Amino acid sequence: MRTLLFHCRNYRVKIDRLANRPENISPEEVKEKDQALEDCVVALITIEKGDNLKVNCDKLVKEIEIMCKEVSHNKVVVLPFAHLSNNLANSNDGIKAMGLVENELRKKFEVLRAHFGSHKSLLLDIYGHPGNARYREFYD
């Protein structure tokens, strides 16, 4: 599992269309075409083949909690982002992982989860301080 974490002043996303790759992708049903949030931590998340979902999702949640505490914000965006790996897990595992992360974070934070399986217009207005962007890899 890989992630990019950003401390954002503004986050906006608009679904353009459903994805048709990688091969065999199964997009979720679209519930919201547009989303926005201010003063939040945005987690771009890639799930890989062979990931231990429970273990790695728990590690990711801890990293997000650390960043939220450091930047003093309680809002989080969970955004599926296939572009960090060429070794992607199947859609079912990807959707399951997003749900695990979302549900665990909801215990402490306001959470917005982006759609899985679509091409999106994305705006990340990232603060310019040290620690505003972090890349992490999680392996069990």
Per-residue pLDDT at 140: 81
Per-residue pLDDT at 27: 77
Q: Is there a contact between 140 and 55 (Cβ–Cβ < 8 Å)?
A: yes
Q: What is the pTM of this model?
A: 0.94
Q: What Rg, from alpha-carbon coordinates, does the chain have? A: 14
Per-residue pLDDT at 117: 84
pLDDT tens per residue, the chain (140 residues)?
Answer: 999 999 999 999 999 888 877 677 777 788 889 999 999 999 999 999 999 999 999 999 999 999 999 999 999 999 999 999 999 999 999 999 999 999 999 999 999 999 988 989 999 999 999 999 999 999 98
In whole angstroms, what is the distance from residue 132 CA to residue 6 CA? 6
Residue 66 belongs to domain spanning: 2-137
- Three-state SS string over the chain comes to CEEEEEEEEEEEEEEEEECCCCCCCCCCCCCCCEEEEEEEEEEEEECECCCCHHHHHHHHHHHHHHHHHHHCCCEEEEEECHHHCCCECCHHHHHHHHHHHHHHHCCCCEEEECCCCEEEEEEEEECCCCCCEEEEECCC
Structural domains in the chain (count): 1
Per-residue pLDDT at 20: 73
Query: To which residue do tokens 């996303």 refer?
Result: 13
Per-residue pLDDT at 13: 96
Per-residue pLDDT at 121: 95
Q: Give the CATH number of the domain where residue 114 resides.
A: 3.50.80.10
Q: Is there a contact between 50 and 116 (Cβ–Cβ < 8 Å)?
A: no
